[in-house]
Structure 1
Amino acid sequence: MDTTDPKDIVRRGYDAVAARYDEAYGGDTKYRPWLDELRRLLPPGGTVLDLGCGSGVPVARTLSDAGHPVTGVDISEVQIRRARERVPGAEFHRADVTDVAFEAGSFDAVVCFYALIHLPSAEQPPLLGRVARWLRPGGRFVATTGHHAWTGVEEDWLGGGVPMWWSHTDAAGYREWITRAGLTVEREEYVPEGDTGHALFRARKPVSP
């Protein structure tokens, strides 16, 4: 085990503070407006991919309960185990999100909340390209990204005694990456968090004429 590998830092961090993370960020109540909006936009029974699904709460649970088949992917074994217990109707995979593969046009929506920013920056544009291929024409992509460019470590994340690692460009960079991937950015907003914040992007795969 390479404890200097950023992805290993992320995996071990979420393994260690899985329950604490849900408590700190609101559990079932987090992302409520974002998910309510997505539910209104999805077709009945529309399929959803949740990249960085964590414990399955609230994204997989909310959308699965609404009748949408959900596939979740997360690097943390502890989080995936919790997700399978909490959302037995969804399908979960313990994997690096940059390693998974799906057929083109598999999903009506791809959600990625606070997960893209845990990947090395160089790996993020290729993943966005794959996301675009996985979406059906007209499919939705909803994701949080960095707002300011930064790469670094917090040594005692959430007071859990473990480090956590992030890497992200700024909002303009993400707008360019998402567009270059073949998606149309429909809305972008700033999501404050403490003395900093993130960008929230809502994008769509164009429908071919």
Structure 2
Amino acid sequence: MTAEDPKDLVRRGYDALSQRYDEAYGSDTKYPSWIASLNARLGKSSTVLDLGCGSGVPLVRDLVAAGHHLTGVDISEVQIQRAQKLVPQAEFIRADATSVDFPDESFDAVVSLYALIHIPLDEQLPLLGKIATWLRPGGWFLCSTGQDEWTGLDENWLNSGVAMWWSHADADTNRGWITQAGLTVEQEEHIPEGDGGHALFWARRPL
């Protein structure tokens, strides 16, 4: 992996700004409603995978508190180290989300919030295909994607002097990819942010 590799930029960015990212976004009011909606869809003591789990707060922490079994994956070593301290009851894996693998039908739900948008476009559909196999029949996939197509770099992310990289297709393309992966989109909404925003998808593996 070279310094120019976009995934390396993402890893180094979150290593440098883990704490600052939580301060900027961790208390965002949208998370409690998403977590509550997911919890309402889950049975007792469900198994949940969070791809791009960050520091584990708030999603992993809150779902563990609700009695579920959580596995978190993140590319940032600092994020994983903080998650292990903040939510010691969960299992955390430091890895590229596209390189991990799990047995078929391992999870009742897979969540990926603000993480797919850091993965190169040509790797996103294959990852969605893997996610579909990891879900049990009837299992839920909750993800945020780009609303509009864009790939680019911010050299001064969060006014820190640290670079960050994103790449995402538009909502129509993402909806098609989720469907192509074998999941059924049950709900979709636009999440405004600044001059743009993201698309939030609730999808399900057919029974």
State the TM bucket, normalised to the shorter chain.
Answer: over 0.9
Name the CA distance, whole Å, in 2 between partners of 1:107 and 1:26. 25
Shift of 1:160: 1.7
Which consecutive unaligned segments of at least 5 residues does structure 2 have?
A: none
Instruction: Look up the SS of the partner of 2:138 in the other structure.
Output: strand
Shift of 1:27: 3.6
Q: Which residue matches 1:156?
A: 156
Q: Tell me, yes or no, if structure 1 residue 17 matches structure 2 residue 23.
A: no
Shift of 1:26: 3.1
Instruction: Look up the SS of the partner of 2:162 in the other structure.
Output: coil
Q: Which residue matches 2:104?
A: 104
Q: Which residue matches 2:61?
A: 61
What is the identity, as a one-letter code, of the residue corresponding to 2:17? V
Q: Given the two structures, how large is their TM-score scaled by the length of structure 1? A: 0.97
Shift of 1:30: 5.0
Q: Which residue matches 1:144?
A: 144
2:26 and 2:57 in contact (8 A); partners too = no
Q: Tell me, yes or no, if structure 1 residue 71 matches structure 2 residue 71.
A: yes
Shift of 1:188: 0.5
Shift of 1:2: 1.6
Map Cα deviations across residues 70-102 of structure 1 (whole Å, 9 max, x no partner). Answer: 000000000000000000000000000000010
Name the CA distance, whole Å, in 2 between partners of 1:182 and 1:171. 17
RMSD: 1.0
Q: Which residue matches 2:26?
A: 26
Q: Which residue matches 1:178?
A: 178
2:26 and 2:58 in contact (8 A); partners too = no
Q: Given the two structures, how large is their TM-score scaled by the length of structure 2? A: 0.98
Across the two proteins, how many residue pairs are aligned to each other? 207
Q: Which residue matches 1:88?
A: 88
Q: Which residue matches 2:196?
A: 196
What is the identity, as a one-letter code, of the residue corresponding to 1:199? A
Instruction: Look up the SS of the partner of 1:199 in the other structure.
Output: strand
